[in-house]
Amino acid sequence: MLYVTRNGVKELKLNMTEDNTCKLPSYIFNCPTLTHLKLFNCIFKLPNSFLGLQTLTILELEKITFVPAIEFYAIYVPLLVKFSLVYCDGSQYLNIVFSSELKSLIVDENHYNLDLSNSFFKNCKKLTYLYLVIDHPIPADKRLTLENLLSTPTLEILSLGKLELEVQSQMGFLLHSTACGILS
């Protein structure tokens, strides 16, 4: 891996078996040519001198274990257009600073601290695909109105799971997490 990260690799996919997890070497995070990173069944610990994944456009994380840190991991990905976070442990320590270029967001997760406030979707002006399955309760100050979500001008596909609509006055709706079926 050291050889490819030093010699212009653009796309890196690590698919470890269920019985064989891999701790990611820190030099992967400093690869200046990496545009697509897909990880399955890895242990994720950012180096202390981490400045972000400046060239990354696609980040797909599945069954990743984030090693707890003193503070949240802040991952800056200014060019990110696709982000996927599926069945990861320790992701409550993760803070992704999303690009305004984000087009696809997939979160199928128990603990990710996704800010579902309206300001998140105002910053993601190019979002076309949104898939959310969140098992934990969404705090009242982070709840998103369905009206504001659906008014995202570029959104083409919306898939929500384990969320329910809460009727508000004047027939408005709020989204919050519960154990109900998938709404598409």
CATH 3.40.50, applies to 2-177: no
The one-letter amino acid at 158 = L
Return the domain boundaries, the chain: 2-177
- What is the C-alpha to C-alpha distance for residues 104 and 101, in angstroms, rounded to an integer? 9
Average pLDDT (152-171) is 67
Closest C-alpha among 86, 124, 82 to residue 105: 82
pLDDT tens-place string over residues 64-115 = 888 776 665 667 888 999 999 898 887 777 777 778 899 998 888 756 556 5
pLDDT of residue 125: 80
- Of 34-38, 78-82, 126-130, 140-144, least confident by mean pLDDT is 140-144
Output the pTM of the full model: 0.79
User: Residue 171 corresponds to which tokens in the numbers above?
Assistant: 């027939």
> How would residue 172 be classed by pLDDT, with cut points 50, 70 and 90?
very low
Query: Helix (H, G, I), strand (E, B), or coil: what is residue 92?
Result: helix
∠ CA 96-97-99, rounded to 5°: 120
